[in-house]
Structure 1
Amino acid sequence: MTGKASASSLDRQQILTALGRHWNPTAALMMAATERQVESHAHGSEVFGEDGSCSLDFAGSYGVFLVGHQNDAVREAVLHELERAPAIPPGATHPAMAELFSLLLEILPPGLDRFTLGCSGAEVSEAALRAAYLARPGRHRIVIVAGGYHGKTLGALTVLGQEEHRRDFLPGGSDLVVVPPGDAASVRRAVSSRDVAAVFVEPVLGGAYLRVPPADFLPEVSRACAETDTLLVADEIQTGFGRTGRMFAVEHFGVVPDIILLSKALTGGFVPVAVAAMTHEVASAARRSPQWHPGVLEGTTPSALSMAAATATIREVRRLGLPERAERVGAALRDGLRAAVRKHPRHLVDAPGIGMMTGLRTRNPAVENLISMQMSARGIHLGHSLNEQMDQPVLRFYPPLTVRSEQIQRVLQALDESLQWLDRRPAWLMRRITWLLRRQYQLPPPLVLKLMHSNLKVNW
């Protein structure tokens, strides 16, 4: 595909049939039911469908498209590297890697100067877990926050704060301590035994929960870790590079972790890449372990394309002042969402968030789904929680930090129209839809499409 040509010669039914037969039948069914357009191309905050429609992306793949879709500077850097040496052979190095390290040293909190590279957030979560076990020998317990997310590969599941996803694969969980969000006292009690290797925490709890912790939570956790020689791992995969109004969310709280995890925005929306940055002390302690060998902390070596995308992304974040912009422009978005909560308390609980990491906590899954569908019909894509079992899921608003003020106003206007539409629906309908949503995967697929008034067929 070149320019704005069609993404495929197949029609919508053929595309969804292929997805349903060979990839994910549930995802294909949901796409068919919601009548979401097949995407053709994107730029900035706009995503275009094959039918020529234009939508605003306020989901951002949960933080990936922080500098916008098809950012010109990042694209040019990737294309330049593609012409030179797109792949780095095993055991080799590349100037782009050294360049990335140099930029990371300039922006990271002081002391985080040892890097492990990977191709996904889950991969560097596992690297951090290995580092913690090596650097704190004899300690096998890990503290995590309920609702936290650090990836779904088998190793990353070890520190997943969502028990429903973890239990079938790691039923024991004897070395895992789960604490409530924002509860520093529980963390302090857990690490006081001095058999905890590390505490894994998202500085702002993401996912369907989206909670900004109390101001004293991270500082208190950091002190408890320091007093017990426990490692503090900050997962900034969603929050990093300006999303919360600071380059890294830990800066809001004056905390420097022992390990920080980065991905999503670092890719520039082009090529997967992830980094675990740790202190010299952690890396040195890991090397003293009898189990140490040179590759034990390494992940998959990213390509030179990844390095180029990452360095160009960091430069764009700094050049455009995106952390400051997230705080300044994001205030209008947050204020608009809070106004919607005050105007529609029947459907909305609150509007949690910080910077341009925000959303609407809805009264039930039906409200979240109906708002999402109404907004989609008005050309706005939002970040669905993907969690119909929660009583009050958060519908996320994660636009690119390059989003324009008038685009935010367009979204707020569409939200008001969607909520007015919702006001006209009876309360019993919300209860019935919630009941259906929690059982949607057990319903016959043709029935789902019929209920959603879709003309597509389930032939997978």
Structure 2
Amino acid sequence: MRKIKTPDHFISLPEAVKLNREQVAENHKRYLNSGLAMMLSLLNFDKQFIKAEGIKVWDSDGNLYLDFLGAYGALNLGHNHPRVLAALEQVKEFPNMLQASLGTVVSALAQNIAAITPGDLQRSFFCNSGAEAVEGALKLARAATGRQRIVYCEGSFHGKTMGALSVTGREQYQKAFQPLIPGIVSIPFGDLNALEDKLKDKTAAAFIVEPIQGEAGIILPPAGYLSGARQICAKYNTLLIFDEIQTGLGRTGEMFACRHENVTPDIMCLAKSLGGGVMPVGAFITTDDIWERAYGGMEKARLHTSTFGGNTWAAAAAIATLEVLYEEDLPERARKNGDYLLAGLNRLKENYPLIKEVRGRGLMAGLEFNQPEGFVVKATLGLANKISQEYMGSLIAVELLNKYRIITAYTLNNPNVIRLEPPLQVTREQIDTLLEALDGIFRKHKGFISLAATSAKTIFKSFTKKSS
């Protein structure tokens, strides 16, 4: 067989894993998202990580970090869990994708999902991401009810594909892509009166809601909100969709966050940690009745499909993930260690006025910071001003990363909130390391001005170093 020479500047895999930090940054700036690469480099967030295990990651200089970000809740099992990697080894000779057949491993995964989800949720559709799961859930609701309107909550985050973006509650992400999907209306999160007002004309196909709003800043609903939403949706024959993409699979101290109120939705969306941090897996699951109304029979069976959805490797990773969650009782560990983490954060709040509020449940915690109005950082770079004024969480994240080697990030819809979503195996010793680091930061920086000045220096040093 004739071997064709690879093009010039083509990088082989053995060469790729040997790229240094500067080469990686240059590739991102030239061939990927240059604006994002610039922002991360200014904050010194462009470190090159080359090894990961559990909650620990190592950079190219051999430094050890603790990952308290957990890929936005996708690493409930941590990095490179051996059981998930072993699962891929078990199916390596199976056809991974063969659409002209019924998948063996995915059939087992579907049965397992039905076994662990609440109520009579039974039929699953598998895809590759949370946004795809939301897209599928919205389509299912319209197809099953014959209605068009979808109701969602202000401050929500359900993804950035067109349908998911239409029910995501932040204008900054929507504006460039308008007009979005028609027939979509928003209401305040936690307001049952507003929900009933939008449903009473019986034209809404579904109400989609996160049991805890993640990107809004880890916002818990008022007590009774989820059960109240369940009753109102049932009253007007509107389907209730719970987006458990970030809250599900043990994160909040229950396998699913809706179990804190013992509520069962009509449709549930899953993704993120379902693939064990190794494979991209998303899913929505619904009842037999709703599925049959939307996609029952051969004529409607292929109205909604996915090329990669439910492939063998993804399904195997998901089965192994569910096994580990139960065998290691990770939801209970998340509950106990989450209580420990939140108690520690509240002690810090008592001592430091910079902290506005501590929120969370299980190992899904948010730390919101106070910020003076009208303050402008006297920094050389305009970008430093913007980051310092609007992204208080990033200032804390910069300190945690560069001084204490702890990885965190702010929430997308509220940049003044640091999110803490470590792998569920996190130990109390590691939590103490985080709490001590935060205490050190707040003790050193008594207020916003000191933090902003430190951040501005980091940005300026990064800028001058990368410009030279």
Question: TM (normalized to structure 1)?
Answer: 0.89
The answer for the alignment partner of 1:444 in structure 2 is: none
> Distance between the aligned counterparts of 1:57 and 1:121, measured in 2?
21
Select between 279-288 and 193-202 the one with higher mean Cα deviation: 279-288
Does residue 318 of structure 1 match 2:346? no
Match of 2:356 among 349, 352, 365: 349
Give the deviation of 1:173 after TM superposition. Answer: 6.1
Cα deviation, residue 135, structure 1 = 0.9
Mapping for residues 74-113 of structure 1, pairs under 5 Å? 74-82=84-92, 84-85=93-94, 87-113=96-122
| Residue from 277, 280, 284 that aligns with 2:288 | 280
Match for 2:68: what amino acid?
F
Aligned partner (choices 401, 407, 413) of residue 381 of structure 1: 407
Residue 422, structure 1, aligned to residue 445, structure 2: yes
Q: Deviations over 1:122-159 (max 9, x none)?
A: 1111111111111111x211100111111111222222
Please report how far the alpha carbon of residue 72 of structure 1 lies from its aligned counterpart in structure 2 after TM superposition: 1.1
**1:433/1:159 Cα in 2 relative to 1: closer, same or farther (>3 Å)?**
farther
- Greater mean alpha carbon deviation, residues 393-402 or residues 418-427: 418-427
Q: 1:450 to 1:229 in 2, by over 3 A?
A: closer
Letter in 2 for 1:58: F
Tell me the SS of whatever aligns to 1:74.
Answer: helix
- Whether the 8 Å CA contact 2:163–2:180 is kept in 1: the answer is no
Distance in 2 between residues matched to 1:455 and 1:178, nearest whole Å: 44
Question: How much has 1:384 moved relative to structure 2?
Answer: 2.2
Q: Can you list the C-alpha shifts for 1:208-231, whole angstroms capped at 9, x where unaligned? A: 421010111111111000000000
Q: Which amino acid is 1:412 matched to?
A: L
Amino acid at match of 2:422: P
Q: Distance in 1 between matches of 2:30 and 2:458?
A: 17
2:21 and 2:157 mapped to 1: Cα distance?
33
**Equivalent residue, structure 2, for 1:221:** 229
CA distance in 2, matches of 1:366, 1:297: 40
Q: Secondary structure at the match of 2:411?
A: coil
Aligned to 1:408: 431
Out of 10, 34, 37, which is 1:28 matched to? Answer: 37
Q: Is the 8 A contact 1:46 1:57 kept in 2?
A: yes
- Partner of residue 150 from structure 1, selected from 147, 152, 158: 158
Aligned to 1:63: 73
Q: CA deviation at 1:287?
A: 3.6
CA distance in 1 between counterparts of 2:370 and 2:181 reads: 32
Distance 1:400 1:90, change over 3 A: same
Matches within 5 A, 1:186-335: 186-287=194-295, 293-300=300-307, 301-335=309-343
Distance in 2, matches of 1:226 and 1:318, equals 32
Aligned counterparts of 2:345 and 2:15: Cα–Cα separation in 1? 35
Q: Report if the CA contact (8 A) 1:268-1:313 is conserved.
A: yes
Does the C-alpha gap of structure 1 residues 419 and 188 become closer, same or farther in structure 2, counting only changes over 3 Å? same
The 2-side partners of 1:418 and 1:302 are apart by: 45
Any idea what SS the aligned residue of 2:91 has? helix
CA distance in 2, matches of 1:381, 1:231: 38
Residues of 2 paired with 1:358 and 1:6: CA distance? 39
- CA distance in 2 between counterparts of 1:76 and 1:287 reads 35
Change (3 A) 1:292 1:214: farther
Indicate how the Cα distance of structure 1 residues 373 and 266 shifts in structure 2: closer, same or farther if over 3 A, else same.
Answer: same
Provide the secondary structure at the position in 2 that maps to 1:457.
helix
Task: Tell me the alpha carbon deviations over residues 273-318 of structure 1, each in whole angstroms, 9 at most, x when there is no partner.
Answer: 11100011211221479x9621223333232110010000000000
Would you say the 8 A contact 1:266–1:273 is kept in 2? yes
Q: What amino acid does structure 2 have at the position aligned with 1:418?
A: I
- Counterpart of 1:114? 123
* 1:81-132 CA distance string (max 9 Å, x none): 22x2251211322221121112112210021101111011111111111111
Say if 2:73 and 2:421, in contact at 8 Å, map to a contact too: yes
How has the CA–CA distance of structure 1 residues 425 and 255 changed in structure 2, closer, same or farther, with 3 Å as cutoff?
closer
2:392 is the counterpart of 1:367: yes
Structure 2 unaligned regions, length at least 5: 1-13, 372-389
Q: State the one-letter code of the partner of 1:126.
A: E
In the TM superposition, what whole-angstrom CA distance separates every residue of 1:400-430 from its partner, at most 9, and x where no partner exists? 0011111111111011111122216637x75
Compared CA separation, residues 292 and 383, structure 1 to 2 (3 A): farther
Residues 331-364 of structure 1: per-residue CA shift (max 9 Å, x gap): 111111111222112x211111001100201224
2:53 & 2:15 partners in 1: Cα distance?
15
Residue number in structure 1 paired with 2:466 = 457
Deviation at 1:9, TM superposition (A): 2.5
Q: Secondary structure at the match of 2:300?
A: coil
Same amino acid, percent of matched pairs: 33
Aligned residues: 434
Q: Counterparts of 1:262 and 1:6 in 2: how far apart (Å)?
A: 36
Contact 2:162–2:180 under 8 Å retained in 1: no
Secondary structure (helix, strand or coil) at the match of 1:395 reads strand
CA distance in structure 2 between the partners assigned to 1:396 and 1:259 by the alignment: 27
Change (3 A) 1:119 1:174: closer
Alpha-carbon spacing, 1:42–1:35, altered in 2? closer, same or farther (3 Å): same
- 1:393 counterpart residue number: 416
Deviations 1:155-189 (A, max 9, x none): 22222222221233233665121111111111111
Whole-angstrom distance in 2 between the partners of 1:7 and 1:43: 21
Per-residue deviation at 1:68? 1.1
TM-score by length of 2: 0.87
CA RMSD of aligned residues (A): 2.4
